[in-house]
Amino acid sequence: MNTLTHPSDFAALLQRFFTDRLLQQQAASPRTVAAYRDAFRLLLGYAEDQCHKSAAQLTLLDINADLIVGFLAYLEEERHNTVRSRNARLAAIRAFAQYVASQCPPAIFIAQRILAIPMKRTDKPMLGFLSRSEAKALLDAPGRETWSGRRDRALLKVLYNTGARVSELIGIRVNDLELDVTPSVRLHGKGRKQRTVPLWKDTATEVRRWIDFAGLHTDQALLPNRWGRPMTRSNVAERIALAADSAAKGCPSLLGRSISPHTLR
């Protein structure tokens, strides 16, 4: 039986890549597994169209460097993915190619050609920043009269204080906070990495007020939406944009500015 031309061998390798390599050997985070899953869902769909066969009939010979190059072009030209998204999909495919090279010697040449496909370089835009007065206007913009305003004040101050990524921010639970002797928050980053960041007195006070006001329990998200579930990335971006619009009324230099979560980092 030829490993390169039999569909069941390709299917078995792909399954073991996820179950053995990612989950057991590398203990990949759920976000990484989901990103790799999405990459292969798109790749297999593209391969079906190009090879005129179902995903169940695809073989290792079908998933070659020429197909991958075409897939990357399809992502950018037809799906209008950014270079960053294109590179993320390629990273998932290259990880699989490395696994194939170690598990299936007859496929080493195919894997080497895929591994030789380069990441595409992209120019990083210059990040904006806020002056001290602009930052203060933004942090003070949400009012304390409403539930969402109180939450947004805590959100902005924690984000500005810690420099957390949005994924770290929305992942904070009440039991990740130490607000008594030496205020701090435990952030859960990429790859299950954790770090503890000190909280300023003003931030700790705002967070304490918010927890008491909302009646949050220790196992709840610090920044929930109206239904009690953790906020999403888009929720956070929308609330920051709303606060920026409000702050611009008293701080004209914010007019027309695009304030993102990364601006506060």
Q: Which residues are catalytic?
A: 165, 190, 262, 265
**Helix %, strand %, coil % of the chain (to 5):** 60, 5, 35
Q: Could you give the CA distance from residue 25 to residue 10 in angstroms, rounded to a whole number? A: 20
Q: What are the structure tokens assigned to 11, written together? A: 């299917």
Q: What are the structure tokens assigned to 135, written together? A: 């930052």
The CA distances from residue 67 to 35, 110, 119, 140, 191, in Å, are 20, 11, 16, 53, 30
- Dihedral pair phi/psi, residue 173, rounded to 5°: -110, 160
Helix spans in 104-232 (H): 108-115, 132-140, 147-162, 166-170, 201-214
Spatial neighbors of 126 by CB under 8 A, at least 6 apart, are none
Q: What are the structure tokens assigned to 221, written together? A: 């998200």
